[in-house]
C-alpha cells in the first residue's frame, strides 16, 4: 500500500507527497473526494483513479498549450514537470500527443528553419533547436528537407542590414562583422558575401553613370 506523507498548500492547489517519492497537485475538492489524509494508506484503486485524473488534466493542459503555439516534445515535458505531474503520467501524455501527430519534432524543426532561416545562420538555428530538445539527427534531416543555405541567408541579411552602416567607416564595418558573427556566421563567409555586396554596389554605380 502507498502512504500519504505530506499534504501542503501550493498556490491554488495542494501538493500531495507519497512515500514512494511521487508528488502531484490536487484541488481541495480532490483531497476530499479521495479522502486523503497525512499518514493514510491509499488503495491501489484510489491510486489509479488519481493517476487517471492527473492524466486527463495534464493532457488537457498540453492541448491548451499546443493550441496557442507550436512546441517540441521537450518543451511540453518541461511544462508538465513544472505542473508537478508524475513521470509515468507525463510519459502517457507524450505518447498520446505523438500517436495523433500533435507534437512532431521533425515538423517543428523544419518550420523553425523556414521561419528563422531569413535572419539566422544554420549554426545558430541548430543551437536553438538543440536547446529546445531536438536531436542532432532530426535537425540534420530537417535541414536536408528544406532549401536553406547559409549563403542565401547571409546575403539576405547583408542586403537588409548593411544600409544601416557607413561601410566606408572602419568602425561601422567592424560593427557589421560583429553583428553577423553574433548571428553565427563564419568570418570567412561574411568576408566573401561583403565582397560580393561591394561589387554589386560598384556595378550599380557604374550603370548609373
185-191: long-range pairs with CB below 8 Å, 24+: 185/121, 185/123, 185/150, 185/154, 189/150, 189/151, 189/154, 190/154
Q: How far apart are CA 175 and CA 203, in angstroms?
A: 25
Q: Which residue has the higher pLDDT, 42 or 117?
A: 42
Euclidean distance between the first and final Cα of the chain, in Å? 90
Q: Write b or e for each residue in 85-120: b if 16 or more Cβ atoms lie within 10 A of its Cβ, otherwise e.
A: bbeebbebbbebbeeeeebbbeebbbebbeebbeeb
pLDDT of residue 5: 97
Q: Which residue has the higher pLDDT, 175 or 1?
A: 175
pLDDT band at 67 (very low <50, low <70, confident <90, very high): very high
Tens-place pLDDT, residues 121-137 = 999 999 999 999 999 99
pLDDT of residue 209: 41
Average pLDDT, the chain: 92
Q: Which residue has the higher pLDDT, 161 or 20?
A: 20
Kindly report the number of other CB atoms within 10 A of residue 156's CB atom: 13
pLDDT at residue 205 greater than cutoff 60? no
In 43-86, where does DSSP find H-type helix?
44-68, 73-82
pLDDT at residue 19 greater than cutoff 80? yes
> Who's near 80: CB < 8 A, 6+ residues apart?
58, 61, 62, 89, 90, 93
pLDDT band at 207 (very low <50, low <70, confident <90, very high): very low
pLDDT band at 88 (very low <50, low <70, confident <90, very high): very high
pLDDT at residue 23 greater than cutoff 80? yes
The whole model's pTM is what?
A: 0.83
pLDDT at residue 86 greater than cutoff 70? yes
pLDDT band at 169 (very low <50, low <70, confident <90, very high): confident
Q: How far apart are CA 16 and CA 37, in angstroms?
A: 9
Amino acid at each position: 500500500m502507498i502512504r500519504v506523507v505530506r499534504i501542503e498548500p501550493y498556490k491554488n492547489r495542494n501538493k500531495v507527497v507519497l512515500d514512494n517519492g511521487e508528488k502531484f497537485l490536487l484541488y481541495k475538492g480532490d483531497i476530499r473526494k479521495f479522502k486523503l489524509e497525512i499518514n493514510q494508506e491509499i488503495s491501489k484503486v484510489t491510486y489509479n483513479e488519481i493517476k487517471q485524473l492527473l492524466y486527463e488534466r495534464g493532457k488537457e493542459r498540453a492541448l491548451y498549450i499546443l493550441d496557442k503555439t507550436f512546441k517540441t516534445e521537450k518543451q511540453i515535458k518541461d511544462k508538465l514537470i513544472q505542473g508537478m505531474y508524475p513521470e509515468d503520467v507525463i510519459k502517457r501524455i507524450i505518447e498520446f500527443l505523438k500517436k495523433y501527430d500533435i507534437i512532431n519534432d521533425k515538423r517543428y524543426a523544419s518550420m523553425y528553419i523556414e521561419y528563422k532561416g531569413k535572419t539566422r545562420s544554420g549554426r545558430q538555428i541548430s543551437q536553438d533547436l538543440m536547446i529546445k530538445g531536438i536531436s542532432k539527427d532530426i535537425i540534420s534531416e530537417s535541414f536536408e528537407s528544406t532549401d536553406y543555405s547559409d549563403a542565401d541567408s547571409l546575403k539576405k541579411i547583408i542586403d537588409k542590414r548593411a544600409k544601416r552602416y557607413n561601410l566606408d567607416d572602419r568602425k561601422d564595418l567592424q560593427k557589421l562583422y560583429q553583428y553577423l558573427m553574433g548571428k553565427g556566421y563564419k568570418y570567412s563567409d561574411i568576408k566573401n558575401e561583403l565582397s560580393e555586396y561591394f561589387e554589386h554596389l560598384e556595378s550599380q554605380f557604374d550603370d548609373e553613370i
